[in-house]
Amino acid sequence: MIVSDVNRYVFVHIPRTGGTTLSGQLIEHVQGSVFGLKHWQMHDLYLNPDVAARVAGYDVFTIVRNTFDWLVSAYYGGTFLSKGLSFDAFLDWLEARDLMRSQCGYLEDASGALVVTDVFRFETRELAEVEIARRYGAKLVDLRRPPVHARGPYVARARPDNYRTVYTPALRARVEATYARDIAEFGFKF
């Protein structure tokens, strides 16, 4: 999570959405600083009344990714293939650990209400560049470029060009049921 008291914004970094690249640029160009943990959720801020008061009235923005593509990205971006896990077993693994259960979950307060002012899409993240530049007077570098992590340049593992090829009808139905709120809230299509 990135917070700027100068520019009065909170960027909620949802994993596998291009947030590492954007976070770095917000820190470098838009007077942001890391707040809490990298993937804090908005309700984490509300646990501390002083912090909640501090960010009241701030813009809250994020990048979301089509749920079906998001999960394939997480599967291919992790070590699951090298461990021999199938995509179906990967979904079981996520569910057993209550991980990546919802992108909406990152954006809601303790009551479950969404508290985000702007939602940008991974698929059109260049629009985030334009809006952030307009709003805060900063020029960001191409958000489509791979991030450079502390552990070295990002190396994408071979993955299908089309996420749809990973899904069987049963897996698609499973994801549609598990992530129904995200799919409805953000209008994601298979």
3-state secondary structure 79-113: CCCCCCCCHHHHHHHHHHHCCCCCCHHHHECCCCC
Say whether both 59 and 73 belong to one domain: no
> What pTM did the predictor assign?
0.85
Domain span at residue 178 reads 67-101+161-190
Pairwise pLDDT comparison (150 vs 24), residue with the higher score: 24
The four Cα atoms 38, 42, 48, 49 give a dihedral, to 10 degrees, of 150
Say whether both 82 and 155 belong to one domain: no
The average confidence (pLDDT) of the chain is 85
High-pLDDT (> 90) share of the chain, %: 43
Most confident of the ranges 9-13, 23-27, 36-40, 183-187: 183-187
Say whether both 35 and 119 belong to one domain: yes
pLDDT for the residue numbered 144: 57
* Lowest mean pLDDT, pick from 8-12, 60-64, 91-95, 132-136: 132-136
pLDDT for the residue numbered 151: 47
Q: For residue range 111-165, what is the model confidence (pLDDT) as tens digits?
A: 889 999 999 999 988 888 788 888 887 766 655 555 554 445 545 557 888 999 9
DSSP 30-92: S--EE-SSTT--HHHHTTSHHHHHHHTT-EEEEEE--HHHHHHHHHHHSSTTTTT--HHHHHH
Q: Looking at the predicted structure, is the pLDDT value of residue 66 above 80?
A: yes
Say whether both 93 and 53 belong to one domain: no
- Structural domain tally of the chain? 2
104 pLDDT tier (thresholds 50, 70, 90): very high
> Which residue type is seen at 129?
E
